[in-house]
Each structure stands twice: as C-alpha cells, then as structure tokens.
Chain A
Amino acid sequence: MNVFLWGVLPYAAFALLIAGLIWRHRYDRFGWTTRSSQVYESKLLNIASPVFHYGILFVLAGHLIGLFVPASWTQAIGVSEHAYHLFSLYGGTLAGVLAVAGIGILIYRRRTNAPVFRATTANDKVMYVFLLGALLLGMIAKLSDTSGNGYDYRSTIAPWARSLFTLNPKTELMEGVPVLYHVHAVVGMVLIALVPYTRLVHMFSAPLQYLTRPYVVYRSRDPRQLGPRPDRRGWERAGS
C-alpha cells in the first residue's frame, strides 16, 4: 500500500498529466478553453475570480518552495527554521484563505445563477470536488498542528517529493506522516492527473507570449487547405 501510494501513484498522476496534455493538444485544441461564464454573470465573478486565482497561484508557489527547496538552502541564506515556519504558516494560510474564499463564492455563484449552473457539466462537478477537497484538506492539515513550529514536513514529505525526481522514491519517509497529510497528498495527486481532462487545462495556456509579440498578428492562408497550387518543379520563371 505504502509503495503504491507513494511510489506508484505520483508517477501515474504525472504520466496521466503529460499524456493528457499531449492527447488534448493533438486532438482537442478546440475544447481547450477557460469556458468562461462571465457573460452570464460578472459582478460576483469580477471579485471572486481574481481572489481565487491569485490565492491558488500563491498556494502553488508555496508548495513549490516547501517541497523543492531543501532546508539546507534556506539555512544557507540565513533563514532560521522558526522564521521559515512562521512564513510558511502565515503566508500559506493567507493564500489558502484567499483561494478558499474565492472558490467558495464561485461555487455559490455557480449553484445559484441559473444560466451558470446550466452550463456546468458533470466533468466540472467532479473537478470541483477534487479541487475544493484538495484545498480544504490542505488547510485543515496545515492548521491542525499549530504547536510550535507546526508539522515538520521539510524532513519527511519534502525529501520524499524530491526523491521522486531521482526515480528512487523513498516511500519509507511517508510512513510517519499524519494521516491528514496523506489524504491531502493523494487528493492532490488525483487532481494533478485530472488537470488535462477537465477545464483546469487552461492553466497550461497562460499567454506569456503576449508580452513579447507584435500587437497586430498577420497570417497567410494555409496553402494546404485552399489556395493556389504551389509552382510546379521546372524552369525558373523569367524575370525572377
């Protein structure tokens, strides 16, 4: 069981993520969208959506720092363990509260606004269960142990997460971890696997190229679809 959860599931989730992205890019670029419901209702969305998205971005950044920056690195730049944990506790909680508050309003809006609810697919509902579940479980796990420095995930979960990259997962590190973290991690991995198969896929189309491209885009017709035949092989045209 331990090996399955912490040695197999992470790779399965990652494989599903990558495979799903490739498959979707190859076969369903038309369905790759945010599926915005703003045209139905924009007052609540204008507040809740930025709150949720900025919150979840901070949450993501916090996970990246927490899991992939070893304690030795932060100590090397002179951040004490206590200071780090205070930052992690307050920063993480703030980001989590933003995200939970945002998604709370968004789900309320989705349920109560008739056109928005009508545009909600079964796929969306499954996604919301896992997204909200992962968020709430993470908050509970974090806040359930506020004694002193909180739960020291930097010596257990983080090294395990890093060991995944060396293809030598240290599953034994996860044995003593509180069960709340276990559940959070499993739900999180399922969520990662779900990303390309739900509307969450829009996170992979963050349009950063907009910052550098020219404002007005010109494109020519695809000659394979319609248009003049390419010149036949032969002599060059006179005058060219």
Chain B
Amino acid sequence: MRPMAQVAMVMNLDKCIGCHTCSVTCKQAWTNRRGMEYVWFNNVETRPGQGYPRRYEDQERWRGGWELNRRGALKLKAGGRFRKLAGIFSNPRLPEIKDYYEPWTYDYKNLTDAPLGTDYPVARPVSQLDGKPMKIGWSSNWDDSLGGAPAYGDLDPMVERTRQQASEKVRFAYEETFMFYLPRICEHCLNPSCVASCPSGAMYKRAEDGIVLVDQDRCRGWRMCVTGCPYKKVYFNHRTGKAEKCTFCYPRIEVGQPTVCSETCVGRLRYLGVVLYDADKVTEAAETPDERDLYEAQLGVFLDPEDAEVRRAAEEAGIPFDWIEAARRSPVHALVSKYRVALPLHPEYRTMPMVWYIPPLSPVVDALTETGHDGEDADNLFGAIDTLRIPLEYLAELFTAGDTGPVRASLEKLAAMRAHMRSVNLGEDPDPAVCAGVGMRPEEVEEMYRLLAIAKYEERYVIPTAAVGDAHRLEASALPDTCSLDTDGGPGMGGDGPFGQDSGRRRLPLVPVENFHILRRRQTADDEREV
C-alpha cells in the first residue's frame, strides 16, 4: 500500500441552474489574457449537446485517453512513445481553435467615433485571431439550454451511442426533450493521459495534493497533451506557444480556500475534499478489461480514512496529520465512497478522473409533477426513474460507460432521500422501507440530506492548508517579499523583448484582495455583525 492524497471535487448536478458564474469567475481569474481568449478552464455544457470543444467525446476522432493493447496493458490511444516522437512535427489529432470557437471582441470605438450620420452606429464583431470583422458562428455555449437542439442535438456523441443501445430514447421534439447542465473542469486524474503524452516532461501531478499542472518553463509547445486529454481540458495558448490548463486554483487550495469556481457557485453544488488512494493500485484498476467495471475498480483504489491501518500507512508515507483528518471529514469521500451517489465522468477513458458528479434527479421529479402525479412520492419516483424522459441510458453513457446499474442506484438514493425528508418535514412517520430499499439507514439519509441540501460552507469545503507550520506568512500576505517593480515584467519593465511580447520570465502577480480570515468570516458568518 502506497497511500497518496488527492484534493478532489464532486458536483451535484441536481442543483446546477446553468448560470455560468463558475465559468465567468474562472475566466476572470485565469484566462482573461491574450492567447487564451477561446479558453474556458471551467465551462458549463448543456447535455444533450456537443460540448466544448465540439464533439470532444468522439475519441475515434480525437484519440484522447488510454486504451488496452492486445496484452491488456494500458497504451495511449493517440499512439505510444515512438509514434509520438516520429510524428512530433505536426499533430494531426489537434483540435483547431475553430473546433472550440473563433474568439471575438467588438469594435466599441465605433460607438463613439463614428461620423455623424443617419445610421445608428453599431459595434461590429471583430475576430481576435486576425483582427478582421467576422460573423459569429459558434461559441463555448452556443447550444446553451438546448439552443438549436433540433439541428445540432443529434451531433452529441453520447446521443449517438445511447441510440445504438436503446433506440429512440433521446428525442429533440419540444415536448419530449430533457436537459441538464454539466459544469466541467480539469479532472486532475489519477492516471493522467495528458501527463503521459507530454514529450518534454513539463506536465506533472503534484505529489502532495494530486493537482495536475504544466511547468511553463519546461513546456516546449509540442501539443501532445491537448490530444492526450480525452476531456480536452488542456489548452494551447496561441500567443505564448505553451499549454495551459485548470490549476485547481492551487494558490487558493494551498491556503485552505476553495477554488474560484466552487467559491462563486451560486447553486452551492460543488464539494471539495481530500481522498486517500493507493497509488500502487491505480494502473491495475485502469487496466480493468471491461469498461463497465471501471467505476467499481476506481472505488477500489480509494482508501478508507477511518481504517486505522490506512491512517498509519498514510502517516508513514508522509501525509500530514491534518490531511488525514481532513480525509475523514471529506465530503468527497462521503459522496463517492460512503453514500455512493457520485459517479465519475467517462470512466471508460481509463484516466481515473477525480471530479465526480451526482446525476440529476430533478428533471424526473419535474416531469412527474407536470403529469399531475406527486413528484416526491417514493413509489412514483422509483417507477419514473426507469421510464421517464431523462433516459438512464444517456446518463450511463456519461458516468458509467453505459452501465445503468450505478446510475439507477444513485438516483434511487436521491429519490429515497426526497421521500424520507418529505415525511420528516411534514411530521409524518417516515416509512422505514423507503430507506431500507436503497440500503441506507434513516440517519445516513438525513446526514446525506444535510450535506446535499443544507450544504454548509464548512461541510462543502474541507481543505487542509499546504503548510500549517508556515501559516502565518501565508495568511498575512501572498505578496512577494520584494517590490513588484523589481521583477521582470513588472510595471516599469515595459517594452517587448526580442522574442515577441510573451517571451521572458514572468511571474504571476500574487495580490491577495483580502485577508484569509476576513474572507472566511464573511463567508461563514450567520450574522452580519460578526463580520
């Protein structure tokens, strides 16, 4: 056993209203620079839909992730080491920017500078790639909320697969549609195929917290990681010529703050916590022959932090005490391993993703209510899960490689929770058979309810800091010790270098807007005066 710690995320899709606040705040924090105009480290897709970049799940085309070779061992779907080096001069599987969308801005200046005339001046869209006027034809969420679904919906690769399995279960006629939102960030996989694809060795998984990062000084722009990632969550900065990706907001995680997308999530649907896993078992689990067993195999990689032996091994492996304690209180561990309501996104890519999802039950409840039935009655709900219009098969293609069993089990637990809590809230005697039917005790269901529905800040985000011993310096300020004018690229160091504007050593300016404790108090205080 070789325990390692990973900071992981769970998203409760039931609560996502598709407001894109996570995407916008992430964009403001990380990708509001030139060269990254088209990049969304966090994006919210409407499913069914093509996703961003378009049809990224079509791995026959993009060749992302791992597959098994004839001997049953893992190999990169885009080709092994020799093939990568022989083909390094171009990457035929690289998505072009137009597969994401052509970024644009508007000619705002025309609004004030246009000559006097009878026409009202307009701000025309201007391409950010070539600076010319353009016609906007696609964006990161063009098909938001099923926009254009009759025309584009059939292009969703998961719709295609669902139709092969269960014909005609997915329809785009207005009365028969279903939809839900799927927020996506980098999965920070246990078996990352982007890291394995990087010829330069610039990408790495951090040993302390499992965050997958790109070393900007070592990246040489070979672009293999973009192809290697089946979720297409590594992006090419077309200005600097380097790969960039979701950082899991590691500067925030290190001081115990949730990621920007989690912090700003209006629906409070994101959970952050530590999971312990056995690094020795990762490859073995990823080599599970049947795709449909990969979900169970990944559960088998996680270690139970309540187990004394695991805790001892973790301590010997150098995992700090507060991390082990955080793993015990981890909401991610609870939702993934204890209640088993969260499922991984596309386990069939064999990368062991670490951002998991609780499948959405709400469309089922809403549809039931619309037909005049009691949407929270346990019997109605259980019957509806199989037959109603959010096809289990579609969810299963997303979360369990097509196996409807775990999806149904998860939805049934959520349905049982609704029925049980309704009885509690109405002062009725809860029917013990409802909880027993999904294999849970009433107390467990109530705990799960607290975590999912009440979702207190401290319970959603259980993040140990990177450095308790050094907490003082981290809290006081993340400002550099020296004057920011002194650094390369600071103000006063203007002008372009000889290699273009993005060359040279630059440090990200680290400026804390507010003190950690003030922020914490503001977020968690129940009373305004406490702030």
Residue A84 at the chain B interface, CB threshold 8 Å:
no
Cross-chain contact A36 with B223 (CB below 8 angstroms): yes
Interface residues of A in 202-236 (CB under 8 A from B): 202, 205, 207-211, 213, 215-221, 226-229
Residue B436 at the chain A interface, CB threshold 8 Å:
no
Interface residues of B in 174-212 (CB under 8 A from A): 191-192, 195-196, 198-201, 203-208
Residue A237 at the chain B interface, CB threshold 8 Å:
no
Q: Which residues of B contact A149 (CB under 8 A)?
A: none
Cross-chain contact A42 with B96 (CB below 8 angstroms): yes
Closest to A204 in B: B220
Q: Report the contact-size class of chain B (Cβ under 8 Å from the partner).
A: 35 or more
User: What mask results when residues 214 to 244 of chain B are scored 1 for a CB within 8 Å of chain A, else 0?
Assistant: 0111111111000000000000101111100
Residue B81 at the chain A interface, CB threshold 8 Å:
yes
- Most A CB contacts (10 A, CB to CB) among B242, B499, B506 go to B499
**Binding stretch for chain A, among B105-113, B136-144, B421-429, B468-476:** B468-476
> With A219-B206, A220-B208, A226-B254 known to touch, is A36 a contact of B221 (CB < 8 Å)?
yes
* A115 CA / B506 CA spacing, docked (Å): 25
Residue B94 at the chain A interface, CB threshold 8 Å:
yes
- Residues of B contacting A: mostly: loop
- Most B CB contacts (10 A, CB to CB) among A30, A38, A213 go to A30
Cross-chain contact B469 with A211 (CB below 8 angstroms): no
Residue A54 at the chain B interface, CB threshold 8 Å:
yes
* A38 CA / B201 CA spacing, docked (Å): 21
Q: Report the contact-size class of chain A (Cβ under 8 Å from the partner).
A: 35 or more
Closest CB-CB distance, A228 to chain B, in whole Å? 4
Cross-chain contact A30 with B94 (CB below 8 angstroms): no
Residue B92 at the chain A interface, CB threshold 8 Å:
yes
Residue B486 at the chain A interface, CB threshold 8 Å:
no
Closest to A44 in B: B90
* A210 CA / B202 CA spacing, docked (Å): 11
* A164 CA / B240 CA spacing, docked (Å): 38
> With A27-B505, A28-B499, A114-B132 known to touch, is A36 a contact of B200 (CB < 8 Å)?
no
Q: Which residues of B contact A (CB under 8 A)?
A: 81-82, 84-85, 87-92, 94-97, 127, 129-132, 191-192, 195-196, 198-201, 203-208, 215-223, 236, 238-242, 254, 466-470, 474, 497-500, 502-506
> Given A219-B204, A228-B468, 16 other A-B contacts at CB below 8 A?
A36-B236, A38-B90, A40-B97, A42-B92, A114-B129, A115-B130, A207-B85, A207-B201, A217-B201, A217-B204, A220-B208, A226-B474, A227-B467, A228-B466, A228-B467, A229-B470
Of the A-B pairs whose beta carbons lie under 8 Å apart in the complex, a sample of 11, sorted by A's number, is A29-B218, A30-B240, A30-B505, A30-B506, A114-B131, A118-B131, A217-B195, A218-B204, A218-B205, A220-B208, A227-B467
